[in-house]
Structure 1
Amino acid sequence: MKSLFVTLLILGGAFLAYDYFGAPPGKKLVFKSLNVPVKPKVVQAKPAKEEEEKPVVKEAMPEPPKPAVVEAPKPVEPAPTKPAAPATTASSGPKFEPIENLTGNWLKIPQTAFPREVKLLQDTMFKMSVGASKVAAGGKAFAIGSEGGTIILAPTATSPARGQLPIDATDLKEQLNASYEKWKIVRAEELKAIAAKKALNASSAPVEAAPSSSEADAAGKPVRDSKGAFPLLVASMHRGQVTEIKPENVLDWNDPQPVMIQGRSGWAVKLTANVKTIFGLQPVEAQALVLNGKVTGWFYTGSGEEVP
């Protein structure tokens, strides 16, 4: 019994010691005076914001376009200058028309273009009073004339046999074109020499005398002579004012027609004359302009070019 009491005493002492020393304030059962009132923790509420601050996201602005870098153009080297092609026309003479114009589009080839040897591009029959013969394509024959685009042929220069072929069945066009190109170069040089000579004569020529009554009337109009020619124009030819037209090559004189020359009243006398062409002398129309009884110039009526 004594031991039980001791045990209880020990347990009571231990409880009191724990209650005094170990129990946290506010939990003591025996020594309640030691319980310190625990102040409630005051939690300060954060002030409510009208709107929760949101992180400001800066809107990406497009970068201004960078100025384009323009490279300075590289200097272009000038192309080498090609030498000028030799002139085939002369300013003092007629322009060189296409050969088609001179041949009536190959339907009216002047007889002066014949005879000439040509190459046959197809078989050709040559007929005579007794019998006929054939020359195969690739052979040669003599073109002696043309009729509306058809070439009249002979097997030899003296043969009486005759054959016919379209012009395109021979090399005649090719031959005449080549001859024309060569002739234009030679002719251009001739015209250049003529122009230079005329310029020299004009610089040293004496003052032209007033026309006589046999050359022009009181109004300056050219008059004809007993042969139907115009002495005023013939004298102009003899003076070298025009060399392409010669008195002996004039085929026909027309009557003078009133025209305006340099803003004044004058006269134009047309004529037909044979002049030099690739096919020899061929008829062309030209006119002389007369002002105050003096010839001021000669011109081809078709092209308007000055007659050399």
Structure 2
Amino acid sequence: MKSLFYTILIIGGAFLAYDYFGAPPGKKLVFKSLNPPVKPKALPVKPAEEEKPVVVVKESPPPPVKPVMVEKPVEKAPAPKSESVSSGPKFEPIEALTGNWLKIPASAFPREVKLMQDAMFKMSVGSSKIAAGGKAYALAAENGVLTLAPTASSPARAQLPVDGTDLKAQLNESYEKWKITRAEELKAIAANKRQSQPEASVADASPSSSEVEADGKPVRDSTSGYPLLIASMKRGQITEIKPENVTSWQDPQPTVIQGKPGWAVKVGCNVKTVFGLQPTEAQALVLNGKVVGWYYTGSGEEVP
């Protein structure tokens, strides 16, 4: 046993001596501290890609846009209506004639009205009141406010809104009666025009050079009026507008009439209304040197 122990001791000492002195670096098993440090495995280095220069393409500016000249379209005039076909006169609502009760014509005054609310009348020596239900005289209106007097000759004055009196009801009633009378009058005018139409057509057959140019455009006279249009009025083509009631003549404008080139001449004038003569505007349509129709520019209705 003793010899076995010595044998193992000798072999172990020899192994330790070999490991210490004879084993190559990196192979030592017991004295590992004598081994050199393990170098990390180097990974292959990928060569950097060559940066390509960025090419900047300079865009050329777009060519300048040329302005396009758009011609103003020629306004198409209403087609002249046959005298034998009529739907009856068209009357504007009274709100249109009075500017929604803010511009009541002066011809509506003076008139006696019933007060719907109290009115305090002032004068130089004091004031007096007329209670709702009483009577007063409306002298004028401005922006929907009435100027009132207790009598037609009194210097005292008061102000009330239009709705503070029965003025609206009075004017509405008068307007409805006037429309009936006016409609009958227009029917009679239309009947007379139909009877005189053949004679008027012959008279209008050959306009002179003093009335129209070669292209049919109406010619002004020394008074700035248009003899062609004045002749149309005088021979009864229309009765609503009289030459003496014309307030302005505008320049002829090209238009399309019955699919053909013609002329439209706007005329400022005074016409009959429930409030008497009031300013309005109409236009005469001229085709081939002849007046073929008259129309109000606002409503498009034919002038009687």
Q: TM-score, normalised by structure 2?
A: 0.70
**Whole-angstrom distance in 1 between the partners of 2:165 and 2:214:** 60
1:266 to 262, 265, 270: 262
Letter in structure 2 aligned against 1:95: K
8 Å contact from structure 2 (residues 295, 301) kept in 1: yes
* Secondary structure, aligned partner of 2:120: strand
8 Å contact from structure 2 (residues 200, 235) kept in 1: no
Does 1:179 find its partner at 2:174?
A: yes
Does 1:149 find its partner at 2:144?
A: yes
Task: Tell me what 1:303 maps to.
Answer: 299
| Deviations, residues 246-303 of structure 1 (Å, cap 9, x unaligned) | 0000011110000011111100000110000000000111000001111001011111
Distance 1:253 1:116, change over 3 A: same
The CA deviation at 1:95 is 1.0
Task: Tell me what 1:215 maps to.
Answer: 211
Task: Tell me what 1:104 maps to.
Answer: 99
Task: Tell me what 1:133 maps to.
Answer: 128
The CA deviation at 1:204 is 4.0
| Deviations, residues 146-192 of structure 1 (Å, cap 9, x unaligned) | 01011110111111111000111100000001111100000000000
Distance 1:95 1:108, change over 3 A: same
Does 1:250 find its partner at 2:238?
A: no
Task: Tell me what 2:19 maps to.
Answer: none
Q: Aligned runs of 1:64-79 on 2, under 5 Å?
A: none
Across the two proteins, how many residue pairs are aligned to each other? 219
8 Å contact from structure 1 (residues 251, 272) kept in 2: yes
Letter in structure 2 aligned against 1:182: K
Does 1:163 find its partner at 2:166?
A: no
**Whole-angstrom distance in 1 between the partners of 2:275 and 2:111:** 13
The CA deviation at 1:206 is 5.5
**Whole-angstrom distance in 1 between the partners of 2:254 and 2:205:** 23
* Secondary structure, aligned partner of 2:214: coil
**Whole-angstrom distance in 1 between the partners of 2:200 and 2:267:** 26
8 Å contact from structure 2 (residues 89, 183) kept in 1: no
Distance 1:133 1:274, change over 3 A: same
**Whole-angstrom distance in 2 between the partners of 1:307 and 1:135:** 46
Task: Tell me what 2:279 maps to.
Answer: 283
Letter in structure 1 aligned against 2:153: T
Distance 1:118 1:190, change over 3 A: same
Identity fraction in percent? 74
Q: Aligned runs of 1:2-151 on 2, under 5 Å?
A: 91=86, 94-151=89-146
Q: TM-score, normalised by structure 1?
A: 0.69
8 Å contact from structure 2 (residues 111, 137) kept in 1: yes
Does 1:193 find its partner at 2:188?
A: yes
The CA deviation at 1:214 is 1.2
Does 1:235 find its partner at 2:213?
A: no
Which runs of 5 or more structure 2 residues have no equivalent in the other structure?
1-84
8 Å contact from structure 1 (residues 216, 232) kept in 2: yes
| Deviations, residues 125-149 of structure 1 (Å, cap 9, x unaligned) | 1111221111111110000110101
Task: Tell me what 1:36 maps to.
Answer: none
Letter in structure 2 aligned against 1:176: L
* Secondary structure, aligned partner of 2:159: strand
**Whole-angstrom distance in 2 between the partners of 1:205 and 1:107:** 43
Which runs of 5 or more structure 1 residues have no equivalent in the other structure?
1-89
* Secondary structure, aligned partner of 2:92: coil
Which consecutive aligned stretches of 4+ in structure 1 deviate over 6 angstroms post-superposition?
Answer: none
The CA deviation at 1:92 is 7.3
* Secondary structure, aligned partner of 2:233: helix
Q: Bigger radius of gyration, 1 or 2? A: 1
8 Å contact from structure 2 (residues 135, 150) kept in 1: yes
| Deviations, residues 13-51 of structure 1 (Å, cap 9, x unaligned) | xxxxxxxxxxxxxxxxxxxxxxxxxxxxxxxxxxxxxxx
